[in-house]
Chains A and B, each alone.
Chain A
Amino acid sequence: IAGITQAPTSQILAAGRRMTLRCTQDMRHNAMYWYRQDLGLGLRLIHYSNTAGTTGKGEVPDGYSVSRANTDDFPLTLASAVPSQTSVYFCASSDEASGGAVDTQYFGPGTRLTVL
């Protein structure tokens, strides 16, 4: 089934722990994105990747890191989780690289993360 998968679906994490959220797409899209969504706020971009091997910082990158070793996978790591990182995290992808053209972003189902 074509699309984007994310894992885990939900997670409760103790503050200070390290956590990696996984994202995989099988549409061979060039660009991938990580957003967080908090109640009353719009989606906020954490990090993005225009193509495999490159990454960039979004609006709220502090406390998060990403890597893009290949086209399909774009993991997001919280090195030392804090309660303010409690949120719903969405991964998205688009065919065209951001900064080059307009293209629709398609979203994964999200990961609900609670940091205590």
Chain B
Amino acid sequence: GQNIDQPTEMTATEGAIVQINCTYQTSGFNGLFWYQQHAGEAPTFLSYNVLDGLEEKGRFSSFLSRSKGYSYLLLKELQMKDSASYLCAPMDSNYQLIWGAGTKLIIKP
């Protein structure tokens, strides 16, 4: 079956770095998306990886290892506004997104 595993909740300090891990099993693979979702709001696109390696976009970076079925989202210089849920979503062979339950990130001053 298809499965996504990511931590339920993480806490980090303002200004620090945090890494949110995601492991996945899907029927086929067409890349992996990360979305950010603030409480009570819609998910918004952060990143997409289809090849192995690190993609950097400002304070956010995303890494993919297809052979290990593993991805992580790295957030640097954390700000209070980064408090949100982060959703890992690989795309299967039918181009359907398979969504994890998300990691709630709490930023403390």
Q: Judge: A and B partners, yes or no.
A: yes
Q: Which residues of A contact B (CB under 8 A)?
A: 35, 40-45, 58, 90, 98-102, 104-110
B31 at the interface (CB under 8 A from A): yes
Q: In the complex, what distance in Å separates the CA atom of A45 from the CA atom of B91?
A: 13
Q: Which of A41, A42, A107 contacts B44 (CB 8 A)?
A: A107
Write 9 A-B pairs (CB below 8 A) sorted by A numbering. Answer: A35-B99, A90-B43, A102-B30, A102-B48, A104-B48, A106-B45, A107-B43, A109-B42, A110-B41
- Say whether chain B's binding surface is mostly helix, strand, loop, or mixed: loop
CB distance A100 to B87 under 8 Å? no
For B45, B87, B89, B95, the residue with the greatest tally of chain A CB atoms inside 10 Å of its CB is: B95
Complex CA distance for A99 and B30, rounded to whole angstroms: 11
Contact flag A42-B43 (CB < 8 Å), given A102-B50, A105-B97: no
Query: In the complex, what distance in Å separates the CA atom of A62 from the CA atom of B103?
Result: 28
10 smallest CB-CB distances across A and B, nearest first, come from A42-B99, A107-B42, A43-B99, A98-B95, A42-B101, A104-B45, A42-B100, A107-B43, A99-B95, A109-B42
Chain A residue nearest in CB terms to B94: A99
In the complex, which range does the number of interface residues on chain B fall in? 20 to 34
Q: Is B72 located at the chain interface by the 8 A CB criterion?
A: no
Contact digits for B3-15, partner A, Cβ 8 Å, 1 yes 0 no: 0100000000000
Q: What residues of chain A lie closer than 8 Å to B33, measured between beta carbons?
A: 104-105
Query: With A and B bound together, what is the CA distance between A41 and B30 in angstroms?
Result: 22
Q: Which of A42, A100, A104, A109 has the most CB of B within 10 A?
A: A42
Nearest opposing residue in chain B for A41, CB measure: B101
A98 B99 Cβ-Cβ under 8 A? no
Contact of A45 among B45, B50, B96 (CB under 8 A): B96
B42 smallest CB distance to A (angstroms): 4
Do A43 and B43 touch across chains, with their CB atoms under 8 A apart?
yes
- Hey, which chain B residues are within 8 Å of A101, CB to CB? 95
B42:A90 contact, CB within 8 angstroms: yes
Chain A residues in 8 Å Cβ range of B42: 90, 107-110
